[in-house]
């Protein structure tokens, strides 16, 4: 019987599939770290108070990239190139989710609108990250190889999501509510399609590495498409709501280090 736990266990137990999984995860986290660092550097003067939190967000993402690379090193495995069709962050950018890298590489300050859009995009993608990490913690939180890393990353992702909620609610009170609502909806509908495509691509690569029989691969692909159908019908709503989080000022302190993984 297929389950999230048995599927992930199979990926973790095989060096080649584990190598690809960690390489994809590390690349995405490192990319997120760079993006947040550039946004923090380019925040407009009227929003400079947000810069330390954006910097903290980026530092957390960099830390997660180091953690996934450290998990590879523990097995004596180098990172491998990320297949373009599995590159979630790159595909999101191509679909207009996130600030354009051409803008982030420049020196021109961002606008207030840019920062609002960045936060709305982040609220959607951080929901996905928090949900995924919660699932992994439920299944592998006590795993001797992965548990500590997964719990640390999950805690950070919950902080990132809380930060997005709190900042967007603050900006909505300042008159950005209509823009936030529009960008959240557009981002969620785009993200669920990209997530479907990336999930199909990742499972295709894993299936070839692990020699999955055709019926198993077909069942997994059908499950991914079924999840997309559910999210397209109603599930995307969970990605656009805003509520004051229990964790206030979640990114207000210094970044937590991970010396055992660095």
Q: What is the pTM of this model?
A: 0.94
Please state which CATH number belongs to domain 11-239.
1.20.1260.10
The two structure tokens encoding residue 127: 């929901």
Contacts of 195 (CB under 8 A, 6+ apart): 88, 128, 228
pLDDT at position 161 is 98
Q: Which of 52-56, 85-89, 94-98 has the lowest mean pLDDT?
A: 94-98
pLDDT in tens, 179-218: 999 999 999 999 999 999 999 999 999 999 999 999 999 9
pLDDT in tens, 235-261: 999 999 999 999 999 998 666 665 555
Report how far residue 183's alpha carbon sits from residue 202's, in angstroms, rounded to the nearest whole number.
27
The two structure tokens encoding residue 64: 């997660």
As a three-state string, the secondary structure of the chain is CCCHHHHHHHHHHCHHHHHHHHHHHHHHHHHHHHHHHHHHHHCCHHHHHHHHHHHHHHHHHHHHHHHHHHHHHHCCCCCCCCCHHHCHHHHHHHCCCCCCHHHHCCCCCCCHHHHHHHHHHHHHHHHHHHHHHHHHHHHHCCCCCCHHHHHHHHHHHHHHHHHHHHHHHHHHHHHHHHHHHHHHHHHHHHHHHHHHHHHHHHHHHHHHHHCCCHHHHHHHHHHHHHHHHHHHHCHHHHHCCCCCCCCCCCCCCCCCCCCCCC
Confidence category of residue 4, pLDDT binned at 50, 70, 90: confident
Q: Considering only CA atoms, which of 97, 237, 252, 243 is closest in space to residue 172?
A: 243
In the chain, where the domains are located: 11-239
The two structure tokens encoding residue 86: 């599995």
Phi and psi of 36, rounded to 5°? Answer: -65, -35
pLDDT at position 262 is 43
pLDDT at position 168 is 98
Please report where in the chains the tokens 């990926």 appear, as a residue. Answer: 11
Contacts of 61 (CB under 8 A, 6+ apart): 29, 30, 32, 33, 36
Confidence category of residue 84, pLDDT binned at 50, 70, 90: very high
pLDDT in tens, 109-159: 999 999 999 999 999 999 999 999 999 999 999 999 899 999 999 999 999
Phi and psi of 18, rounded to 5°? Answer: -65, -40
Proportion of the chain above pLDDT 90, given as a percent? 92
Q: For 5-25, what is the mean pLDDT?
A: 96
Tell me: pLDDT of 36 over 90: yes
pLDDT at position 62 is 97
């Amino acid at each position: 019987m297929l389950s999230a736990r048995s599927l992930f266990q199979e990926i973790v137990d095989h060096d080649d599939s584990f190598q690809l999984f960690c390489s994809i995860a590390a690349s995405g986290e490192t990319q997120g770290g760079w993006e947040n660092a550039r946004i923090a550097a380019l925040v407009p003067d009227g929003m400079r108070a947000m810069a330390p939190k954006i910097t903290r967000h980026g530092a957390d993402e960099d830390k997660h990239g180091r953690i996934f690379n450290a998990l590879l090193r523990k097995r004596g495995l180098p990172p491998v190139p990320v297949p373009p069709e599995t590159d979630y962050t790159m595909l999101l950018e191509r679909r207009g989710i996130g600030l354009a890298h051409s803008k982030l590489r420049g020196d021109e300050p961002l606008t207030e609108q840019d920062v609002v859009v960045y936060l709305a995009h982040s609220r959607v993608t951080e929901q996905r990250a928090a949900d995924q990490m919660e699932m992994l913690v439920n299944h592998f939180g006590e795993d001797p190889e992965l548990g500590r890393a997964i719990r640390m990353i999950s805690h950070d992702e919950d902080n990132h999501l809380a930060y997005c909620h709190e900042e967007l609610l603050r900006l909505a009170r300042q008159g950005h509510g209509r823009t936030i609502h529009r960008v959240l909806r557009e981002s969620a509908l785009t993200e669920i399609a990209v997530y479907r495509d990336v999930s199909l691509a990742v499972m295709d690569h894993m299936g070839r590495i692990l020699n999955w029989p055709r019926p198993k691969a077909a069942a997994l692909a059908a499950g991914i498409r079924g999840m997309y159908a559910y999210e397209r019908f109603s599930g995307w709503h969970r990605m656009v709501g805003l509520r004051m989080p229990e964790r206030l000022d979640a990114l207000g302190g210094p970044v937590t280090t991970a010396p055992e993984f660095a």
